[in-house]
């Protein structure tokens, strides 16, 4: 786990990452994960032991880079890797993933933003990447502690035929712990555009009105405004997508 906030990173290194479910639904999910994976925890929190590192991992001259950029750090190769980092770090993360991904393995990215699949396919291979999108919600409430604040969908698209078995495995695995995962076909760009529409409708309103995402649902006026903004953004995004497809066909 990449954690640049020093206090957050040090707390995770000392005591693990504490995950707090904030509803009966999220509590059920984490209870199931605790049983299946064998992680520590209780009804109030799950404690996940992870390696916390900062951005020095991307510095080739750093000893931290040499440590994490090796199979020994992860103990073994992995058949499946989940990428959740910011889009600006995709290329650096892809090179690290390449060193620990099994020969027949694949990488599922749940990142927002366009272009991540292209970067991952270039570095990992065209037939080793899946694109996902999620509306699961979480937030850091204090160093070493995360709240799972809301459940939502997880859509998994397959940019190539070869990764369909991996997508099936991810959907089955996520469903087994109560996470609502569904296959989303091969049109991974549609999955990204749909999430972009949602973010474009919600994020500006939270900034303008100084509220959190979940608080937008508490007001009928806000919900109506989100719907109006979403319709406008949807039209704009569909037009942009058509232009993008036309440009690619013209190349």
Residue 25, H or E segment: helix 24-37
Cβ–Cβ under 8 Å, residues 155 and 184? yes
On whether the CB atoms of residues 84 and 68 are closer than 8 A, the answer is no
SS3 122: helix
Catalytic residue from among 195, 212, 223, 227? 195
Strand 17-21 and strand 46-48: the pairing is antiparallel
Residues 6+ apart with CB under 8 A from 203: none
Do the Cβ atoms of 81 and 56 come closer than 8 Å?
no
Of the candidates 198, 192, 127, 114, the residue with the CA atom closest to the CA atom of residue 165? 127
Q: Which residues pair with 17 in a beta bridge?
A: 48
Give the phi and the psi of residue 105 in degrees, each rounded to 5: -85, 170
- Angle of helix 220-250 versus helix 188-209 axis, rounded to 10: 140
Place of tokens 């600006």: 88
86 catalytic per annotation: no
Instruction: Supply the residues annotated as catalytic.
Output: 195
């Amino acid at each position: 786990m990449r954690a640049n906030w020093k206090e957050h990173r040090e707390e995770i290194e000392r005591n693990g990452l504490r995950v707090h479910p904030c509803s009966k639904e999220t509590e059920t999910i984490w209870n199931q994960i605790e049983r299946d994976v064998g992680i520590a925890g209780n009804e109030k929190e799950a404690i996940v032991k992870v390696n916390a590192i900062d951005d020095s991992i991307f510095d080739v001259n750093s000893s931290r880079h040499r440590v994490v950029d090796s199979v020994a750090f992860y103990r073994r190769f992995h058949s499946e890797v989940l990428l959740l980092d910011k889009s600006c770090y995709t290329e650096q993360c892809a090179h690290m993933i390449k060193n620990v991904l099994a020969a027949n393995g694949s990488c599922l990215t749940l990142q927002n933003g366009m272009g991540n699949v292209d970067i991952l396919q270039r570095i990992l291979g065209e037939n080793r990447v899946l694109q996902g999108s999620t509306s699961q919600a979480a937030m850091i409430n204090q160093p070493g502690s995360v709240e799972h604040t809301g459940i939502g969908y997880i859509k998994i698209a397959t940019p190539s035929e070869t990764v369909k078995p991996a997508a099936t495995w991810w959907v089955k695995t996520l469903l087994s712990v109560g996470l609502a995962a569904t296959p989303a076909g091969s049109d991974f760009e549609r999955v990204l555009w749909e999430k972009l529409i949602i973010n474009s409708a919600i994020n500006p309103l939270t900034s303008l009105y100084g509220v959190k995402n979940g608080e937008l649902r508490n007001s009928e006026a806000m919900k109506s405004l989100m719907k109006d903004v979403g319709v406008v953004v949807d039209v704009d995004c569909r037009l942009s997508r058509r232009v993008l497809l036309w440009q690619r066909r013209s190349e």
